[in-house]
Amino acid sequence: EIVVTQSPLSLPVTPGEPASISCRSSQSLQHSNGHTYLDWYVQRPGQSPQVLIYMGSNRASGVPDRFSASGSGTDFTLKISRVEAEDVGVYYCMQTLQHRTFGPGTKVEI
Amino acid sequence: QVQLHESGPGLVKPSETLSLSCTVSGGSISGHYWSWIRQPPGKGLEWIGYIHYSGTTKYSPSFWSRVTMSVDSSKNQFSLNLNSVTAADSAVYYCARLTSENFFYWYVGVWGQGILVTVSS
C-alpha cells in the first residue's frame, strides 16, 4: 500500500502572504503514461471536501489561479500564492496510482 | 448540476452491517464511477472504494473483506454495505462521483454532504 504523508500538519498563514504544503508518497506516483497520479482537496470548516488539483498540477474548474501544484516522483507541493481568509481549512493530498490513499491533512488557519 | 444525498441509519450496533444509500439527482447514474469515502470524527479522510455504473467494483485493501457496493440504476442510487462493524467504523460517510476530463484519469469531482454513522450498542 502506498503511504502518503504531509507537512506541516498545521500551518498558520497570513492573508496576502504565500503558503505551501508538502506531500510525499512512499512510492513514485508517476504512471507509465507520464502523468502524476496525485490530487489535492480542501475541506473548509463545516463543508464536504472539494477538489483543487487533479493529476498532479491541473486546476479543477472554478479553482482560483492562486492555487498551483507541482512535483514528481514522490515529492509534491501545493502553493497558495496569496492566502485569502476563505482558504482556511484542511488540505489533503491523495494518491490515485494504486487504489487511493489520502494524506493525513494539513490544517491551514489564520 | 448533479447532487448526491446519503441516507441510512445513524446508529448501528457492533457486529452488525452498516448500510447506506446515495441518491443521485440532477443527472444519471449511468456512465460514471461512484465512490464512498469516510471521515472518523476529528480525523482525516479514508477511501473505501468505488463502483462503476456497470457494477464493476474496486475496494480499498483496508475494507475489501467487509465491504460491498452496488448500483440500482432504476432508482438512480448506489449503496454501501460494511459488515461486522465496530466503534472504529463510526464516521461521517460521504458518497461521491468520480469525474474525468480525459477518460483516463478520474478525481473526486462531486461530494455528498455526508452522513454521520455511529456504531454503538
pLDDT class of A25 with cuts at 50, 70, 90? very high
What's chain A's length in residues? 110
Q: Is B3 an interface residue toward A (CB < 8 Å)?
A: no
Q: Are strands A106-109 and A10-12 parallel, antiparallel or unpaired?
A: parallel
Cell numbers 497520479 correspond to A37
Residue of A nearest to B44 (CA): A104
Contact at CB, B101 and A58, closer than 8 angstroms? yes
Residues of B whose CB is below 8 A from A43: 45
Interface test with B, best of A43, A96, A99 (most B CBs within 10 A): A99
The Cα B110–Cα A33 span in angstroms is: 26
**Average pLDDT in chain A:** 97
Q: Which residues contact B33 (CB under 8 A, 6 or more apart)?
A: B50, B51, B52, B53, B97, B98, B106
Which pLDDT value is given to residue B103? 85
- Residue A53: pLDDT above 90? yes
- Residue B102: pLDDT above 90? no
Which pLDDT value is given to residue B20? 98
**CA dihedral over A69, A72, A76, A81, signed as positive or negative:** negative
Read off the pLDDT of each residue in B95-108 and give the average, rounded to a whole number.
93
Cell (9 digits) for A1: 500500500
The Cα B17–Cα B79 span in angstroms is: 13
Residue B18 DSSP SS3: strand
Which pLDDT value is given to residue B29? 95
Q: Is B41 an interface residue toward A (CB < 8 Å)?
A: no
Burial of B62 per CB tally in 10 Å (0-12, 13-18, 19+): middle
Burial of B104 per CB tally in 10 Å (0-12, 13-18, 19+): exposed
pLDDT class of A88 with cuts at 50, 70, 90? very high
Residues of A whose CB is below 8 A from B45: 41, 43, 49, 92, 94, 102, 105
Contact at CB, A105 and B106, closer than 8 angstroms? no
Which pLDDT value is given to residue A31? 92
pLDDT class of A26 with cuts at 50, 70, 90? very high
Percentage of the residues of chain B whose pLDDT score is greater than 90? 97
**Average pLDDT in chain B:** 96
Facing residue for B44 by CB, picked from A39, A51, A92: A92
- Residue B101: pLDDT above 90? no
Read off the pLDDT of each residue in B36-47 and give the average, rounded to a whole number.
97
Read off the pLDDT of each residue in B86-105 and give the average, rounded to a whole number.
95
Closest CA to B91 of B62, B118, B64: B118
Tell me the residues of chain B between 61 and 80 that have a Cβ less than 8 Å away from chain A: 61
- Residue B51: pLDDT above 90? yes
Contact at CB, A48 and B94, closer than 8 angstroms? yes
Contact at CB, A103 and B44, closer than 8 angstroms? yes
Q: What is the dihedral of CA B93, B98, B99, B102, to 10 degrees?
A: 150
User: What digits encode the pLDDT tens for the residues A57-87?
Assistant: 999 999 999 999 999 999 999 999 999 999 9
Percentage of the residues of chain B whose pLDDT score is greater than 70? 100
